[in-house]
């Protein structure tokens, strides 16, 4: 069948990365059918790095707003592109409205917010929930199909983009690069303490004096990055707090250049995994089995204490032991072999 496929992206970077294997399956099923992705501007760079995507369309809608009239108008633009099917990855009703208004006949998604009729190939999640990668990848199969192993997320960054980002941001191409991602949009409970990141930086630079460390994140993570630098002492001379100074595609490029990435359970962790970089993933209040890293070389660290995973934005017990007690020597023990390669 001719035509195009529309995929409506999740709204978070990490979720978008973990949805990419769905596109791998769709491309295997219909190699000649172009795949477009409709995504929020903040998430669009993920899909520009996905080799299966033909066109990235950026959503013009405000976050959490229904904007029914605006959705109807945009649906008419989509109608003209000739889609034969649509995959609605967000679970909200307002995103399911778009392909229905656009007249796309086959509309695939999970039940979500009682979307009967809007979604006409409806999947139902299992209890307990599946890990995120097979959760999204299952949409390429029939709702009653047996589960099959999903491919792992895969993104690509061109060499010239890596070189350009390093040049603009002052990253020395002759020195090993380690990336820290000390933030987490979900909330402070996911964040490994800055003093632990600082102590880890000291350990890295004691053993690898020629290394450089870049701290990546959003503008909201700038203060956390400054706290990491303050905790690093003399090691801060070989560190750069680039949180809020990079575009997302530049952050991707630096991660693609990195010898290793140390990250909380965050979007940048999953970007690093999809770029197949050596990864140390730090889990406290979230479950490492739900959204693990998929790199060839990866370690998911969790103390798995009795109160975790609580999945709360802030520690409900006030002690944050799941992260506080995961001290730098434990992380360095996992990281050191990666940097010795």
Q: Are residues 200 and 309 in the same domain?
A: yes
pLDDT computed for residue 331 by the predictor: 98
Mean pLDDT, 10 residues at a time, the chain of 341 residues: 90 95 97 97 96 95 70 91 97 91 96 86 81 94 89 96 96 96 81 96 97 96 96 97 96 98 95 97 89 93 88 84 95 97 79
Q: Are residues 86 and 187 in the same domain?
A: no
pLDDT computed for residue 243 by the predictor: 96
* 113 beta partners: none
Q: Are residues 68 and 182 in the same domain?
A: no
CATH of the domain at 106: 3.40.50.2000
Check residue 181 and give left, alpha or beta (phi > 0: left; psi -120 to 50: alpha).
Answer: beta
Of 87, 111, 140, which closes a domain?
Answer: 140
In a domain, 124, yes or no: yes
CA distance readout (Å), 51 to 20, 155, 327:
10, 7, 38
In a domain, 148, yes or no: no
What is this structure's pTM?
A: 0.90
Q: Are residues 241 and 276 in the same domain?
A: yes
CA dist 144 and 234 (Å) reads 58
Q: Are residues 106 and 169 in the same domain?
A: no
CA distance readout (Å), 222 to 158, 187, 246:
27, 15, 11
Q: Are residues 190 and 264 in the same domain?
A: yes
**What's the N-to-C CA distance of the chain in angstroms?**
48
CA dist 320 and 262 (Å) reads 19
Q: 3-class SS at 166?
A: helix
> What is the residue range of 129's domain?
4-140
pLDDT computed for residue 62 by the predictor: 65
pLDDT computed for residue 30 by the predictor: 96
Residue reference for tokens 């609605």: 88
Q: 3-class SS at 86?
A: strand
Residue reference for tokens 């192993």: 149
Of 88, 111, 140, which closes a domain?
Answer: 140
Q: Are residues 78 and 188 in the same domain?
A: no
Q: Are residues 117 and 219 in the same domain?
A: no
Q: Are residues 104 and 185 in the same domain?
A: no
In a domain, 236, yes or no: yes
pLDDT computed for residue 186 by the predictor: 66
Count of domains in the chain? 2
pLDDT computed for residue 307 by the predictor: 85
Q: Are residues 177 and 297 in the same domain?
A: yes
Q: Are residues 10 and 114 in the same domain?
A: yes
- DSSP E strands, 93-204: 106-110, 121-123, 177-181
CA dist 100 and 26 (Å) reads 20
In a domain, 147, yes or no: no
Q: Are residues 260 and 229 in the same domain?
A: yes
Of 110, 140, 170, which closes a domain?
Answer: 140
- What is the DSSP secondary structure assignment for residue 63, as one 8-state letter? T
Q: What is the DSSP string of 279-332?
A: EEEEESSS-TTTS---SSSEEEEE---TT-----SS-TTS--HHHHTS-HHHHH
CA dist 87 and 164 (Å) reads 34
In a domain, 324, yes or no: yes
């Amino acid at each position: 069948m001719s035509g195009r496929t529309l995929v409506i992206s999740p709204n978070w970077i990490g979720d978008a990365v973990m949805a990419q294997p769905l596109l791998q399956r769709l491309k295997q099923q219909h190699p000649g059918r172009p795949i477009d992705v409709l995504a929020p501007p903040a998430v669009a760079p993920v899909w520009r790095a996905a080799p299966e995507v033909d066109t990235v369309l950026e959503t013009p809608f405000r976050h959490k707003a229904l904007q029914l009239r605006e959705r109807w108008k945009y649906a008419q633009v989509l109608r003209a592109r000739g889609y034969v099917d649509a995959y609605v990855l967000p679970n909200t009703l307002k995103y399911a409205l778009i392909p229905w208004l656009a007249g796309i006949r086959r509309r695939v998604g999970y039940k979500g917010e009682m979307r009967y009729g809007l979604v006409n190939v409806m999947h139902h999640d299992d209890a307990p929930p599946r890990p995120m990668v097979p959760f999204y990848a299952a949409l390429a199969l029939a709702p009653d199909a047996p589960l099959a192993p999903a491919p792992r997320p895969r993104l690509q960054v061109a060499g010239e983009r890596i070189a350009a980002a390093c040049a603009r941001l002052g990253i020395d191409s002759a020195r090993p690069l380690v990336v820290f991602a000390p933030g987490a949009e979900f909330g402070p409970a996911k964040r490994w303490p800055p003093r632990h990141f600082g102590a880890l930086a000291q350990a890295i630079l004691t053993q690898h004096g020629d290394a450089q460390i870049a701290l990546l994140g959003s503008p909201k993570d700038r203060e956390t990055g400054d706290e990491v630098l303050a905790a690093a002492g003399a090691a801060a001379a070989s560190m750069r707090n680039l949180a809020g100074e990079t575009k997302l595609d530049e952050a991707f490029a630096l991660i693609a250049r990195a010898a290793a990435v140390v990250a909380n359970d965050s979007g940048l962790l999953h970007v690093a995994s999809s770029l197949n970089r050596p990864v140390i993933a730090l889990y406290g209040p979230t479950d490492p089995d739900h959204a693990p890293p998929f790199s060839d070389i990866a370690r998911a660290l969790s103390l798995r204490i009795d109160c975790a995973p609580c999945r709360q934005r802030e520690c409900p017990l006030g002690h944050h032991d799941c992260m506080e007690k995961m001290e730098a020597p434990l992380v360095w023990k996992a990281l050191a072999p990666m940097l010795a390669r």
